[in-house]
């Protein structure tokens, strides 16, 4: 089976993760994926959550970039909002309504991160809540099967 003039499962573009020089974000061939057990996915922009399209083709993501994308998606999603995985996300509506203490929110966030099979431990975790803006900022360092990974998010 082929897609255009490329064999099925390939893309003619390679990308490097700017935050980690050695991480391949897109792959030329699915056989080149760092860890075939970690899976692949379509790449979403970490800033805008839009599908990444280059020269008309969707970009495939694997490795550390995939872990970041999955964690970000889980932490920013509302629990039960995703039809195909009702366990994805956090109970943000209950959190906003102050049904959880900050330590309980932090525990929920850490549990969500550790639910990723490639995450082996959390090295450091810091969260701050700005009551005026309503923003929760998280700075996380974690150990993964690919090495140390850092992630900063604001919700």
3-state SS, 94-117, equals HHHCCCCCHHHHHHHHHHHHHCCC
Q: Is the pLDDT of residue 14 over 60?
A: no
C-alpha torsion 151→152→154→155, nearest 10: 20
Q: Is the pLDDT of residue 108 over 60?
A: yes
Q: Is the pLDDT of residue 56 over 90?
A: no
Report the distance separating Cα 137 and Cα 122, nearest Å.
17
Q: Which of 153, 139, 138, 75 is nearest to 112 (CA)?
A: 75
Residue 119: per-residue pLDDT? 94
Q: Is the pLDDT of residue 4 over 70?
A: no
In DSSP notation, 129-153 reads EETTTTEEEEEEEEEETTEEEEEEE
Confidence of residue 23 (pLDDT cuts 50, 70, 90): very low
Residue 139: CA count within 13 A, CB half-sphere: 3
Q: Report which of residues 53 and 143 the model is more confident about.
A: 143
Lowest mean pLDDT among 10-14, 54-58, 94-98: 10-14
Residue 120: per-residue pLDDT? 95
Residue 150: per-residue pLDDT? 94
The yes or no reply on domain 2-154 and CATH 3.10.450.40 is yes
């Amino acid at each position: 089976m082929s897609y255009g003039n490329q064999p099925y499962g390939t893309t003619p573009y390679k990308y490097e993760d700017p935050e980690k020089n050695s991480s391949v974000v897109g792959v030329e061939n699915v056989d080149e994926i760092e860890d075939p057990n970690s899976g692949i996915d379509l790449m979403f922009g970490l800033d805008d959550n839009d599908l990444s399209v280059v020269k008309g083709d969707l970009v495939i993501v694997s490795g550390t970039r995939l872990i970041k994308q999955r964690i970000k998606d889980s932490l920013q999603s509302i629990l039960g909002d995703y039809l195909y995985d009702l366990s994805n996300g956090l109970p943000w509506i209950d959190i906003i309504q102050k049904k959880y203490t900050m330590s309980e929110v932090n525990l929920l966030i850490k549990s969500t991160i550790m639910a990723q099979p490639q995450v082996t431990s959390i090295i450091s975790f810091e969260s701050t809540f700005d009551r005026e803006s309503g923003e929760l900022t998280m700075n996380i360092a974690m150990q993964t099967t690919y090495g140390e990974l850092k992630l900063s998010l604001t919700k």
